[in-house]
Amino acid sequence: MRSGGWYYKDRLGRTRGPLELITLKTAWAGGIIDTDTFIWGEDMDEWAPIGMVYGLQKAIATWEGLFLLSILLSISHSRKTRVCHEESPSRSISFHHSTNR
């Protein structure tokens, strides 16, 4: 994995870079980038999410960043679950088995 020449799209869609691998690692630890952040390097044909670039996430992910990501995903999931439960009323479903054919 090369150390420099990385670019990423920030949350507003602006291109950031070129960056060294250590800078990406710092951005990951700070929650600025994550597995869904689009990235491009000089040896890539097109932009791709960090999680889809072989070996990159492993090279930049710190345990602090992974921990933060898991917390954020957990919060997001619990909010979505709560909204789904609030929007759909409880319904009981009954099944009837018929022996007549």
| Full domain range(s) for residue 14 | 6-87
Mean pLDDT across 8-23:
96
Is the confidence at residue 30, as pLDDT, over 60? yes
- Look at residue 45 in the predicted model and tell me its pLDDT: 95
Name the token pair of 75. 């919060």
d(CA 4, CA 93): 58
* Cα→Cα distances 21→24, 28, 45, 96, Å: 5, 10, 19, 62
How many domains does the chain contain in total?
Answer: 1
Decide if 98 is inside a domain.
Answer: no
Decide if 94 is inside a domain.
Answer: no
- Is the pLDDT higher at 100 or at 20? 20
- Look at residue 92 in the predicted model and tell me its pLDDT: 47
Q: At what angle do helices 21-29 and 63-87 cross, to 10 degrees?
A: 40
Is the confidence at residue 41, as pLDDT, over 90? yes
Where residue 55 sits, what CATH number does that domain have?
Answer: 3.30.1490.40
Mean pLDDT across 60-76:
74
Is the confidence at residue 99, as pLDDT, over 90? no
Decide if 75 is inside a domain.
Answer: yes
Decide if 1 is inside a domain.
Answer: no
Decide if 100 is inside a domain.
Answer: no
- Look at residue 94 in the predicted model and tell me its pLDDT: 46
Burial label for 81, CB within 10 Å (0-12, 13-18, 19+), is exposed
